[in-house]
Amino acid sequence: MAELGRAALLVTLGLCLYACVVGSVAALTRRRRLALSARNALIAAFASTAVAAGVLAAGFLRSDFSFVYVAEHSSRSLAGLYKLSAVWGGQEGSLLLWLLILTGYAALAVWVNRNRTRDLVVWVTPVLGGIAVGFSFLLVVVATPFATQVAPADGSGLNPSLQNPYMTAHPPFLYLGYVGLAVPFAFAMGALLSGRTDERWIVATRRWTLIAWTALGIGQLLGSHWAYVEVGWGGFYAWDPVENAALMPFLAATAFLHSVMIQEKRGMLKVWNVVLVSLAFCLSIFGTFLTRSGVVNSIHSFAQSDIGAWFLAFIVIAVVFSTVMIIWRLPLLRTTTRLESLVSREAVFLYNNLLLVALCLTILWGVAWPILSEAVRGDSVVVGRPYFDFFLRIFGLPLLLLMGVGPLIAWRRASLRGLGRTFFWPAAVAVVTGVVLLLLGAGSSVPGLIAYTFSAFVLAAIGLEFVRGTRARRALSHESWPVALGSLVGRNRRRYGGYTVHVAIVLFAIGVAGASAYDSVVEGRLTKGEALTVSGYTVRYQGLTETQTDHATEVRALLRVSRNGKDLGGLEAGKNAYRIAGPDPQVSSEVGIRTNYLTGEDLFVIPGTVYEDGSVYFRIFVKPLVNLLWLAGIVFLFGSIIALWPDAREQRRLAVRYDEAGSPVRGR
Amino acid sequence: MIALSIAAVLAVFLLYTSIAGGGTPSVKPSELAGHQGNVSLVGQVIGRPVGDANEEGLRFRLRDVKGAARTAVPVVYRGSVPDLFAPGRDLVVEGELRNGVFVATPGTMVTKCPSKYTAIKPSAP
Amino acid sequence: MNAAIVLGAVLGALCVVLVALPFLREPDPVSDEIEKMTPERQRRLALAEERDRALAALKELEADHRNGRVNDEDYRASIGPLRREAAGALRALDGEVGQA
């Protein structure tokens, strides 16, 4: 069936080319039927990509090793679910998933907007088509997943560290995020091309950006959780270029989600918004480039990878195209409104944007520096964790504080006396928290203490916001507290959804500070019966077990955990040796984690070396509050869903506005 | 706009000071001889490693991942060893050259998995 | 092998039909032009956006004042210019619509 897959991809390429070229012609000459035809081509492209993806997935499920790609990434003994996730286990399959999601988003975006602002949407079609041309071209010419061979008896199997539920969900979420940023980008470019620089493109894409952003956030958190429980080095984020690749567009999109509100409320920052959405999109392509080209390792490996140059060309085209478009339409993007005061809600939004973009660009610099220095000086210089940690503190802590300041300040202007009153309670809560923590010994880490004080401030400010809003609502409607809260959130979904997301970010910050600034560690070689003690925990090594499963030899050290004399039960940590093709088995550490669900603290045991005599070298961490990270993910998703929930009143308001401006003029 | 430019200037300044102080040169085993001080060594493990990384140190040799150079640098490493560490694997390790032996900073070993382009970090900082 | 080629051809044909559909459905349309955003409409739209922004800001200021985020002094200082702005946008929009 590989021919069908190849044919489907070829059809996709043709359809995308059609959507791009014919769509442009239709938009230029304002021909309605031609534009509809180009739009249909985008929808058909999704269908034919889905056929290609279906063929590949079927190849995996049937273990059809005549597909080179299937043979390289699967084996007969692979469990069913992982056969499916092996589809995106390699380069070609990842690109196919990219294209599938892109055409899916594109088809949905043009279909949802089919009856709205046609003069803008006609230009969206060719932009989305153009992006899809890039990826379908790669899949047809450079990296086809449908190469065939004489089928070997068995495939070489999936990398064991990818055989994990997280690795099944993590890439699709990340791609939903990366690719989703193409939709707001296409609408922004459509707005510039058509000259419709009013609020319409922002209203049309706000929700898309939010969906992409949420997916990107959840995808990264899944990746972090995977690293934490599976990779087994005791952390969740290593500032690895591949991780940074996802963080950068996330930060740019975060800035965009905030600055959009200033354009809506004040009509300002039109240029900035287009720049941000282009930046976010280009960074998402750059992220794909980083993970797929190998440029991270060295500029030389980049030259040897066949796909890197194409991606680089793609990025250059995207950057040049958006820059030219923005400069061309600069006169249309001028605004008359000015910032009235540096102490106002919009000013806080502006500071937030500057910090987010600064953080994003410093990370970009850190990622690109080894490549740039090698290209310029011939000598690669890498920047490590200290660089990234430094900038995270410099830009991240003020960002945290601003999340509390923003809700307390009114739009336009605020007098200092008025601020004194609104700031009193949150500031008092923050100071008390800081002093209490200091007395409890949190002064061991200054950034940690600052983070916790700021967190308390933000939580108090947001809490105050909910209380005030509910009280005001009750005063008007005489509803009970829960009903008033419900209708408050329901009537201002974006605002209170946003505050909920802020709570998630604060939880995240508390978790990060707890796990990285206040953790404790002990290590040592234990023979049977010996114990290690750390932060009140005693971990006693009781012996080894060995089990043979279908795929691996599993060695486990049995541990007994007690805290301050109280027995807390058993814990296992060990190693799996997977039998795979090749001379050596592939070993993966299986860490032992004991979670205290009340305090969010983890006892984290990494098995080091297992010696011949049965003794084991252990490295044991105690990570306070680390589980708030994962809780933050749930709160984040909840807040995003509140903000995403469709708001019929807003749609009506917009419809009224466009009716007033004159019903669509059918040209003659 | 003023705030914007101030922030930009500030950012560049911070960047500069940090880069000047924090970057580590990344070198190949064949180039190591000329380098003083702390570097990040990228190479491929050859031969069987000996010793114990938890005690006196794991000893192995690294050579250039690609290219014709046959220079192999002896390395001694203490600290946690990533799961993927094995002869033939590419890895990065920080440290400095002392009397012809590359003494690695404990816990800095990162293996590179070439097919996935992912680095897997062995230990917390 | 053959089945695959046939299926591929069917897929291609279906896609061609979908792409040609707008022309098949309307072989002889009354108008084949996309509605145009005339400069007047664009101006009116901009004014409508301005008016909505001013009205929303007024509403928000009232709410902020009610629930205590904005004190009386700030409220009095802001309400005048905002009202003028909203009234100005409304007048301009009326003028435009009157002309049309």
Beta bridge partners, B40, equal B26, B94
Ranges of each domain in chain A: 1-163, 177-231+242-339, 405-518+634-641, 520-623
Query: Using a CB-CB distance cutoff of 8 angstroms, which residues of chain B are in contact with residue A340?
Result: none
| Residue B44 and residue B35 in contact, taking contact as beta carbons nearer than 8 Å | no
| Residue B72 and residue B82 in contact, taking contact as beta carbons nearer than 8 Å | no
Question: Is residue B117 scored above 60 in pLDDT?
Answer: no
The better pLDDT of the pair A320, A203 is held by A320
CB contact under 8 A, A294 and B7: no
Question: Is residue B57 scored above 50 in pLDDT?
Answer: yes
pLDDT tens, position by position, A148-165: 998 888 887 777 767 778
pLDDT of residue B115: 42
Question: Is residue A633 scored above 50 in pLDDT?
Answer: yes
Topology of the domain covering A520-623: Tick-borne Encephalitis virus Glycoprotein; domain 1 (2.60.98)
Confidence of residue A256 (pLDDT cuts 50, 70, 90): very high
Chain A meets chain C (3+ C-beta pairs below 8 A): yes
Residue of C37, C51, C84 to mutate, interface with A, max A Cβ within 10 Å: C37
Q: What is the CATH number of the domain that holds B96?
A: 2.40.50.140
A374 half-sphere exposure, CB direction, 13 A CA radius? 22
* CA separation for the pair B56, B35 (Å, rounded): 25
Q: Among A238, A521, A617, select the one facing B121 at the smallest CB separation.
A: A238
Quick check: is B38 in a domain? yes
pLDDT of residue B1: 57
CB contact under 8 A, B22 and A383: yes
CB contact under 8 A, A608 and B11: no
Q: What's the predicted TM-score (pTM) here?
A: 0.91
Nearest residue to A15 (alpha-carbon basis) of A58, A54, A50: A50
Q: Measured between alpha carbons, how far is residue A650 from residues A204, A638, C93 in Å? A: 12, 21, 21
CB contact under 8 A, A381 and B25: yes
pLDDT of residue C42: 79
Query: Using a CB-CB distance cutoff of 8 angstroms, which residues of chain B are in contact with residue A584?
Result: 86
Query: Using a CB-CB distance cutoff of 8 angstroms, which residues of chain B are in contact with residue A385?
Result: 125
Confidence of residue A293 (pLDDT cuts 50, 70, 90): low
Q: How far is residue B29 CA from its own chain's centroid?
A: 11
Mapping DSSP to helix (H, G, I), strand (E, B) and coil, where does residue A613 land?
Answer: coil
Quick check: is B71 in a domain? yes
Query: Using a CB-CB distance cutoff of 8 angstroms, which residues of chain C are in contact with residue A31?
Result: 32-34
pLDDT of residue A302: 47
* CA separation for the pair A249, A351 (Å, rounded): 19
What is the percentage of chain B residues whose pLDDT exceeds 70?
69
Overall number of domains in chain B: 1
Tokens of A459: 């939580």
Beta bridge partners, A555, equal A546, A575
Confidence of residue B16 (pLDDT cuts 50, 70, 90): low
Q: Among C8, C35, C49, select the one facing A7 at the smallest CB separation.
A: C8
CB contact under 8 A, A666 and C31: yes
**Chain B residues within 8 A (CB-CB) of chain A?**
3-4, 7-8, 11, 14-15, 18-19, 22-27, 40, 42, 52-54, 66, 80-84, 86, 90, 94, 112-125
* Chain C: closest CA distance from residue A71 (Å): 19
Other C-beta atoms closer than 10 Å to the C-beta of C81 total 13
* CA separation for the pair A261, A509 (Å, rounded): 24
Closest C-chain CA to A123 = C34
C13 touches chain A (CB under 8 A): no
The CA-based dihedral angle spanning residues A379, A384, A388, A389, taken in that order and rounded to the nearest 10 degrees: -150
Question: Is residue A581 scored above 60 in pLDDT?
Answer: no
Bridge pairing between strands B72-77 and B101-104: parallel
pLDDT of residue C10: 92
Confidence of residue A662 (pLDDT cuts 50, 70, 90): low
A547 half-sphere exposure, CB direction, 13 A CA radius? 7
Query: Using a CB-CB distance cutoff of 8 angstroms, which residues of chain B are in contact with residue A232?
Result: 83
Query: Using a CB-CB distance cutoff of 8 angstroms, which residues of chain C are in contact with residue A36?
Result: 21-22
| Residue B51 and residue B58 in contact, taking contact as beta carbons nearer than 8 Å | yes
pLDDT tens, position by position, A172-205: 899 999 999 999 999 999 999 988 888 888 888 8
Q: Among C11, C35, C57, select the one facing A666 at the smallest CB separation.
A: C35
pLDDT tens, position by position, A12-51: 999 999 999 999 999 999 898 999 999 999 999 999 999 9
Closest A-chain CA to B111 = A297
pLDDT of residue C98: 57
CB contact under 8 A, B119 and A238: yes
* Chain A: closest CA distance from residue B111 (Å): 11
Query: Using a CB-CB distance cutoff of 8 angstroms, which residues of chain C are in contact with residue A665?
Result: 35-36, 38, 41
* Chain B: closest CA distance from residue A189 (Å): 24
* CA separation for the pair B39, C93 (Å, rounded): 68
**Nearest 5°: phi and psi at B91?**
-150, 165
Helix ranges restricted to H, A577-647: 628-644
Residue of A1, A4, A200 to mutate, interface with C, max C Cβ within 10 Å: A4
C90 touches chain A (CB under 8 A): no
Which secondary-structure segment (H or E) carries B57? Answer: strand B57-63
CB contact under 8 A, A415 and C42: no
Q: Among A4, A119, A264, select the one facing C37 at the smallest CB separation.
A: A119
Query: Using a CB-CB distance cutoff of 8 angstroms, which residues of chain B are in contact with residue A90?
Result: 115
Chain C meets chain B (3+ C-beta pairs below 8 A): no
Nearest residue to A653 (alpha-carbon basis) of C53, C42, C97: C53
Quick check: is B17 in a domain? no
pLDDT of residue A491: 85
Mapping DSSP to helix (H, G, I), strand (E, B) and coil, where does residue A408 land?
Answer: helix
Mapping DSSP to helix (H, G, I), strand (E, B) and coil, where does residue C29 land?
Answer: coil
CB contact under 8 A, B124 and A234: yes
Overall number of domains in chain C: 1
| Residue C33 and residue A31 in contact, taking contact as beta carbons nearer than 8 Å | yes
CB contact under 8 A, B18 and A391: yes
Quick check: is B20 in a domain? no
Mean pLDDT of chain C: 82
C21 half-sphere exposure, CB direction, 13 A CA radius? 14
C78 touches chain A (CB under 8 A): yes
Mapping DSSP to helix (H, G, I), strand (E, B) and coil, where does residue B125 land?
Answer: coil
pLDDT tens, position by position, A86-120: 898 888 898 999 999 999 999 999 998 887 778 88
Q: Which residues contact B116 (CB under 8 A, 6 or more apart)?
A: A159
Query: Using a CB-CB distance cutoff of 8 angstroms, which residues of chain B are in contact with residue A358?
Result: 7-8, 11
* CA separation for the pair B66, B43 (Å, rounded): 9
pLDDT of residue C99: 55
Domain of residue B105 covers 25-120
Residue B89, phi-psi category: left (phi > 0), alpha (psi -120 to 50), beta (remainder): beta
Closest B-chain CA to A574 = B83
Domain of residue C48 covers 39-100
